[in-house]
Amino acid sequence: MTTSANITRRRLALGAAFASLAVLAAVPAAAQEWPAKPIKLIVPFPPGGPTDTASRVVGQKLSERLKQPVVVENRAGASGTIAAQFVAKSAPDGYTLMMLATPTLLAPHLYKSAGYDVVKDFAPVASVYDLPIVVVVNPTVLPDVKTLPDLIAKAKAEGGKLNYTSSGPGSFGHLTMEMLKSLGNFDMQHIAYKGGTPAVTDLLGGQVPVMYADLVAALPHIQAGKLRAIAVGSPQRIVQLPDVKTIAEQGFKGFDAVSWGGLLAPAGTPKPVVDRVSAEIKQILADKDVQDKLVKAGAVSAYGDPAQMATRIRTDFDKWGKVIRDKQIVVN
């Protein structure tokens, strides 16, 4: 005998079954089959730099592990905003990734219309590398400056007339030196160049005696004795310059200024895809060969999972945004 209660139970069971089917149908095919075709890895800078090198090293290994081509595509311009805009508008299907670097992270503070929200428009996948920043001096122009306290004493003696350079206005080197000046209560004048190469060229020539430089740009000249490294901004000493003290060791406890890079995907990319890529990156960065290749490029392997990367994005965005506002740094 069929009762109204039995009919109700059957209807509820059928409803639950249909609801489950609807949920399964709503899961993107990309999450069920991924990866089924080549993946694009967008690099926001020209070929040859540390971000490009890290992307190619990691991309090759990721391709081997996923059994699909990972195609590195350079979309340079405006501190990476062109690439970031493209990725933010790409389909969130796991087939477009971007190697975020610190300049692109901070660009919304520096450009009136960067065209993306670094928190809302992307899904963090994995932190990949740290790019140490180093304070260097021309030893011919400043023969007595061998430590950070020496530089600060020299800057104070010059009454703020001592010049320093970086890879450009709003660059990480520029922001870090401005923060250091505030903490150390000294002044130097920033001479802006468009790019690290011309800045290093004039540093070597003695036109500007001090630079806060990317390690990748300065290391060959340090090794050749043409530049003297007096401090690194990372919390720990770096493998490339083990005898150079950190800024924290030279009177600025807790000082932490590291440029870095990591993989992003468009917001809405399925979590199973994000987690899969992140897990693969963790394994890739544990490879000694990969670590050595990154070191040769001036970087250091530094894995972080999606949650850790999200925290780092927010922390650095707020920290350096305050420096930009306080110092009224603008990029034309």
User: How many Cβ atoms are within 10 Å of 77's Cβ, its own excluded?
Assistant: 13
Do both 118 and 176 map to the same domain?
no
Last residue of one domain, picked from the residues 228, 250, 272: 250
pLDDT at 330: 83
Last residue of one domain, picked from the residues 221, 250, 279: 250
Do both 125 and 274 map to the same domain?
yes
Specify the CATH number for the domain of residue 174. 3.40.190.10
What lies within 8 Å, CB to CB, of 319 at 6+ separation is none
- pLDDT tens digit at each of 332 positions of the chain: 555 545 445 555 545 444 444 444 444 444 458 999 999 999 999 998 889 999 999 999 999 999 999 999 999 988 899 999 999 999 999 999 999 999 999 999 999 889 999 999 999 999 999 999 999 999 999 999 999 999 999 999 999 999 999 988 999 999 999 999 999 999 999 998 888 889 999 999 999 999 999 898 899 999 999 999 999 999 999 999 999 999 999 999 999 999 999 999 999 999 999 999 999 999 999 999 999 999 988 899 999 999 999 999 999 999 999 999 999 998 86
Do both 246 and 267 map to the same domain?
no
- Could you read off the pLDDT of 246-302 as tens digits, one per residue? 999 999 999 999 999 999 999 999 999 999 999 999 999 999 999 999 998 889 999
Last residue of one domain, picked from the residues 197, 228, 250: 250
What is the per-residue DSSP string for 223-290?
HTTSSEEEEE-SSS-BTTBTTSPBTGGGT-TT----EEEEEEEETT--HHHHHHHHHHHHHHHT-HHH
Whether residue 291 is contained in a domain is answered as yes
Do both 236 and 265 map to the same domain?
no
User: How many Cβ atoms are within 10 Å of 71's Cβ, its own excluded?
Assistant: 12
Pairing mode of beta strands 39-43, 70-74: parallel
Do both 127 and 262 map to the same domain?
yes
Percent of the chain whose predicted confidence (pLDDT) is above 70:
90
Do both 127 and 138 map to the same domain?
no
How many domains are contained in the chain? 2
Nearest partner of 162 among 148, 142, 179, judged by Cα: 142
Do both 271 and 225 map to the same domain?
no
pLDDT at 262: 98
Do both 245 and 266 map to the same domain?
no
Give CA–CA dist 136/228, Å, rounded: 5
Do both 139 and 235 map to the same domain?
yes
pLDDT at 183: 96
Specify the CATH number for the domain of residue 124. 3.40.190.150
The domain containing residue 127 runs over which residues?
30-131+258-326
